[in-house]
Amino acid sequence: MAGIRTEIINTTQIMCSDKLVLGTWGNVSAREGQEKMWITPSGMNYDSLQEEDLVLLDLQGLIHSGRWKPSSEWRLHAAIYRARPECSAIVHTHSPHATAFAIARQNIPPVVEDLVEVVGGSVEVAAYTLPGTWELAENCVRGLGERNAVLLANHGLVGVGSTLPEALKVCQIVEKTAQAVLLARLLGPVVELCEEDIRKMRNFYLNSYGPKLTGEEV
């Protein structure tokens, strides 16, 4: 099984190939135990990023391993890990369609099944403040709530999950949904899913979705 640092590098490569980020923007982290996290360094291009470039720090910001300065958004990651102990991975992207909603400061509505299954409802917009601050971290946690994605006003998207593939999938599905909503609005008003259906689909995803053995030989 791939180690945490290998998974982080793999995640950054997919982010680039899927055009969820450009250059050095965005960041990725994963827990190391409950009180530490590995995170991408500040201002380093993902094309050349190596495992030894990642930084291990605790949730107070003390560096335990690594030669580079951690991402300027380490506070945001630390705040989410403190608020959401079930989350073990965070992916922050600047994907174009999701960021369009962040710029307009409009929520991405709960309109398709995969979005509500992986996110748990709409994608809300966290109140604006300067990047890299504790205030942004606090706003992000409030905007995230119990869901798995949040927009940062005039900034980008944050997705969380129990694993890095899950957090990345959240960002991919939010970006796809944002694009679909923008296209749908050219045709007319979009129709949101009702709260009861959202709850049922989220529960199905958490408890029944995915490959499961039937106990029968094929």
Q: Tens of pLDDT along 177-186?
A: 999 999 999 9
If one counts every other C-beta atom within 10 angstroms of the C-beta of residue 67, the result is: 9
SS3 152: strand
Whether the predicted model's global pTM rises above the 0.95 cut: no
* Residue 126, token pair as written in the block: 């966290």
Averaged pLDDT, 153-176: 98
Q: What percent of the chain has pLDDT over 90?
A: 89
Per-residue model confidence (pLDDT) at position 216:
56
* Residue 67, token pair as written in the block: 């030669």
Per-residue model confidence (pLDDT) at position 2:
61
In the CATH scheme, what is the homologous superfamily, with its name and number, of domain 4-207? Class II aldolase/adducin N-terminal domain (3.40.225.10)
For residue 159, give the H/E element and its range. strand 156-161
Per-residue model confidence (pLDDT) at position 212:
60
Per-residue model confidence (pLDDT) at position 209:
72
Active site residue 124: no
Residue 32, pLDDT > 80, answer: yes
Among 32, 51, 73, 138, which one carries the catalytic annotation? 73
The chain-wide mean pLDDT, for the chain, equals 94
Strands (E), 14-105: 27-32, 36-39, 55-58, 63-65, 89-93
